[in-house]
């Protein structure tokens, strides 16, 4: 099982992105940006694998980065960059 984390250039982009996804019916959860992903606005959005391509298309250029996060045993801090 895995999830996808979207990080943003600004808090405004993250908040508007969440609103866009909720309006489109995407199951999205706001969360703090994991420290291992480096500097970002502080808010990340987490989506399920079946929604990642739709999310990437809806958010477009407002996204700073997209990361695949395998939900595995261990420290849970493994993030792999993902490109649509």
The rounded distance, in Å, linking the Cα atoms of 41 and 73 is 28
Tens digit of pLDDT for each residue in 31-82? 999 888 887 789 999 999 999 999 999 999 999 999 998 866 555 568 888 8
Higher pLDDT among residues 41 and 1, named by residue:
41
**Quick one: pLDDT at residue 22?**
98
- pTM here? 0.88
pLDDT digits (tens, 9 = 90+) for 10-35: 999 999 999 999 999 999 999 999 88
Do 49 and 83 meet the contact criterion of CB atoms below 8 Å apart?
Answer: no
What are the beta bridge partners of residue 80?
68
pLDDT of residue 21: 98
Place of tokens 């309006």: 23
Distance of CA 72 to CAs 27, 44, 84, Å? Answer: 21, 20, 23
Domains of the chain and CATH, by start = 2-81 (3.30.70.120)
Q: Which residue has the higher pLDDT, 6 or 80?
A: 6
Query: Which H or E run includes 15?
Result: helix 11-23
């Amino acid at each position: 099982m895995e999830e996808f984390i979207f990080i943003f250039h600004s808090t405004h982009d993250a908040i508007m992105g969440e609103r866009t996804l909720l309006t489109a019916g995407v199951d999205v959860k706001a969360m703090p940006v994991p420290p291992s992903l480096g500097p970002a606005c502080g808010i990340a959005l987490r989506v399920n694998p079946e929604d990642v391509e739709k999310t990437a298309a809806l958010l477009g250029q407002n996204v700073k980065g997209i990361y695949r996060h395998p939900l595995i045993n261990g420290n849970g801090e493994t993030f792999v960059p993902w490109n649509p």
